Structures are given as C-alpha cells and as structure tokens.
Structure 1
Amino acid sequence: MEPESGANGTVVTEFILLGLVEAPGLRPAVFVLFFFAYLLTVGGNLSILAAILVEPRLHTPMYFFLGNLSVLDIGCITVTVPSMLSRLLSHKHTVPYAACLTQLFFFHQLAGVDCFLLTAMAYDRFLAICRPLTYSSRMSQMVQRILVAVSWGCAFTNALTHTVAISTLNFCGPSVINHFYCDLPQLFQLSCSSTQLNELLLFGLGILMAGAPVILIVTSYIHVAAAVLRIRSAEGRKKAFSTCGSHLTVVGIFYGTGVFSYMRLGSVEASDKDKGIGILNTVISPMLNPLIYSLRNPDVQGALWRVLTGKRVLA
C-alpha cells in the first residue's frame, strides 16, 4: 500500500484488518463458523419479526420494540460479519479509508439506537406493571413511534459526530488494525495526531448515550421490583419477573460488553481480548437475543411454531 498525502493531512488511504486469526489453516474453519452464525442470527431475528406479525397477542408495545430490536440485530451483524467473510474468501485484508469510516458510522448508529430502545422497553415494563391504569394512554402507538424516531435521531447525531471527529485525525502509519472491523479504540491507536479531544468526546457522549439510559433502566426496574414484590400471587410474581428477566439479560450483555470495549482506550496489549468482546457485541449478542426472548415466552413460542408450520390464527 502506497500512502498518499491529502489536503487534510491524512496519508493513509487504506487500513489492514488482521481479522480474527492470522494462521491460514484456521481461516476456512472461521469462515464456516461465522457464516453459519450469520445465517442463524438473521434467520432467528427474522423469525421473531414474523412471529410478532402473525400473532395478534404480540401486537403490544413491548413486542413492537422487540421487533425493532430484531431489525437492529440483523443490521449490527450485517455491518461487520459479511465484510469479514469476504476478506477471508479473497485473502485481501485491506479496507479503504472511506469504507472503514462508513462501517464505523453504521455500527455506532445501530448500537446507539439499541441503547435507547432497551431504555424504551424498560419504560414500557415500568408503565405496564406500576401504572397499569394509564398504560394504554401513556404507551399509545404515537408514543411508541416517537420513542423509536427519537432513538434513531439521537443515535444518528452521535454516530455522525464521532465519524466527523475521527476524520479530522491524521493517519500516517502504521495502518494495521488488530481486529475484524473498524472501531474507535483501534483507530485511536493508529492516529499520529492527538486523540485527546476524540477520547473526551467519546467519554462525554458515552455518558449521554449509555450512562443516562442505564440509570433510567435501573430506576425503572427498582420500581418494577417493588411493585412485583407487592403482588400476593406467587404465579403473578413469577409471570411479571419472567417478562422482565429476558430484557434484563439482554441489557446486561449489551452494556457489559460495551463498557469493556470503550473504557480501556489506548491499550494495545488488549487487542486480542477486544476481538473476543467484539464477537460478543456483534455476533453472539444478536444471535442470542431471539433465543432469550422466546425461551420462556409461550406466546412467542406458539407464534414461532405457527410461522414454521404455516398455520395462521384469526385475530
């Protein structure tokens, strides 16, 4: 790769993504594994979407948000895995500068919407359990659409801000990224100009995009837990905790991996660990979400069975 000087000071025109494994003998196995993981993730999330569409009992705000979450899961794995698979097939590890920033933008766009959607789902559970008498008015179809639209708008602003900010950095070599997709921590390590402002920006926006949602989710579930414990029926308590347990599991995986990824900026030694976290973030989590939400939910299981068998239920 021949570096070129540009008007903005950027001399690196391509990055080299090392991928998950450097040993040629392991690449076919990695390709097969991640190809099937991709098919399973897309198939699982499309099945959830189909189940929500065909089952009248799932035409509720909670499953409206879950359907949007399934779309995000498909998008998140599609942004990262197919390009990795194509590099494994072509044995070409270079990624154009513009393509790297484009991947970064869409990854942060989808992850940002995920943050707000998980918060909206926690708010929905709070209203359903703690404010049942006003639930239908506070969580109307209009409110649901506004919450989703605001989620996309805020995530777009966040992703665009990071993309524009990193495009101002100079990259003059080396250009090797020890990862399988482009992300902020790895690009910070390669910049030959100061990344202090970018890191402050990541920290500040991270508080707004992740810290505030986590506080809202925790607050919602504190109220939910207090309300559920007041339910006299053991069966009622079990059902209420069951509907919240799936969401809390997804929240734990999503935010746990996110914090681990972005709170250790500048650690070159941790690159191999970052690959594992990246797999959890972009592959394992989207693949597990349909399973988590359907495992203990008879309505979803019944709807999935009807989708697979072709049976339809009249509303």
Structure 2
Amino acid sequence: MNITLRQLRLFLEVFETRSITAAAARQHITQSAASKVIAELEAQLGFDLFDRTTRRVEPNDAAKEFHAFAVDVIATMQAATRSVEELIAMKRGKVSIAASPLMVYGLLSGPISDYRARFPGIRFELHELSTDETVESVRAGTVDFGLGAIDAESHGVSATPIYRDGMRVVVNPRDPLAGRQSLSLADLSECDHISLRRFYSVRRTLDQLVADKGVSLPSGIEVGTLTSALGLVRRGAGVLIAPGYVANIAEEWGMRTIRIADLPDDVHQISLIQRRLARPTLAARQFLLELVACLDQSVK
C-alpha cells in the first residue's frame, strides 16, 4: 500500500463537500482527475469510501472511520511543514556551545546578544568548561560545537583556528609594574605569578613558550579558573599572564595589562571544535558564520 498525501487531501475535500466536482475545484484539478485519484485510493484500501448518486457523494461507514486517520496524517504533515518553515525563518531553534567561562564573557557574549536581538526565538545553551572538558562534550555530541585553545590532536573531533591573540601581563593597578608599557620574560621571572593548573591548555601553551626562552616563572598560587586568577590579581596577590581577550576583561574590571615584548602578538590560538561528520542545526550553522566573521574582524 502506497497512499499519498495527494490522495488523502482529496479524500478530505470530498468528505467535506460531498462532491467530487467541488473537491476538484478546491484542489485545482479536473473532475475526471479527482475521480481517478479517489478510485486509486479505494483500490489501495480494498474497499469503497463513498456511496455515489447522480447528485451527491456520501461517505460510508468505512470513510467515517478512515477520516480520523487521514486528518491526523495531514495535520502532522502541516505541523512538520510549519516547523521547518519557522526554523528556516529562524523563528526558533537551539544553539549549544561549550567554552571556558571567560571565553563566554569575552568572545561569545557580544555575538550571542546581537544574534538573539535579531532572532529572539533562538535559545542558547552554554556549557562553561575547561578545554579538555569541551573536547569531550563535543565528542559526545552534548553540544553543537566548542571553543578552545587546542594543543594536540583529538580523536573524533576537528579543530579549526578561528581567533588569534597575544599574551599580556595582568597586574593590580597599584603594582609597581602598572606603569610599564612592556615587559620581557626575563623581567617576569622576578615576579610572583598566579598560574592555572595544567589541565588548561593556556597553561600548557605558556609553559612551552617560556621553556623555549629558557625562563622560569615562579608561581606562588595555582588556581582552577581564570576568573579566580583575576580575583587574586585584583587583590594584589601576584601577576597573571593571560590571553588577550582575558586581558581586555581585566581592564574592564579595573586592572592594568602590559605587553610582553618577546612573545608574538598572535601566539595564542583559539579553535572551533566540532565533531567529525556531524551536521549542526540551521540555527547553529548561521550563528557560526556570524561568530567567525565577528572574531576575524576583532583580530583585524
């Protein structure tokens, strides 16, 4: 049995109008074509649906029983069509993202706010995670994509660089270094540092950079998040070397940042992390296009 939507729609029209001629007019087909469609439907079902007279076409008991199922099928298809149309019009949908808390604050909050101003029906689900947790979340399909400073290949996910910035020193505004325009790593070897634990890729990147320069950065405090590190800097507990987007946040919060003279301005790289062979939702794909464009512009 291969009942079509065309057959069901015409059946409902005949059921309502009690006339093949009227139903044909509503469906913009000829009376003979409509009669043929109904005859094909009855042949597929194996029983008649209408008692025909010269003036009317009356639904029989079988038609009345079949009517409820036909209505359900057509209503379901109409709802599905509206759903797709709404999604295409970006009236609703969900975007799920994993990133560190300060990436959400410094890199995602602006693009998300702009996006939702234009598409208020799109809901965002943000998972504030470390880079390693972000990779696992993407691999498991918990989120549409993630952002992170990836320093190694990861099975099952792809990482595409979409943002680059430098490293800066964050200090308390009352620190003697606060007036300096730049510092070298040798200068920083004499400071007391606040550092992240090694499960953060930014810590591993920094360790490699200073090792290549033959410098040691003594750390008196090790923390689990950059938010905690900034709180400690603000209290004067030490200095912090952080990515540029974090340094911008630190300045918003009243701290001072200083350029590191012997590190390149693009030394820190953030990648878009996606599950291989996955196809993001329409809402996620559109947001990604706008996010990449925004981050590319911010680098320039």
TM-score, normalization by structure 1: 0.20
Report the structure, 1 or 2, having the larger helix content. Answer: 1
TM-score, normalization by structure 2: 0.21
Which one has a bigger Cα radius of gyration? 2
Report the structure, 1 or 2, having the larger strand content. Answer: 2
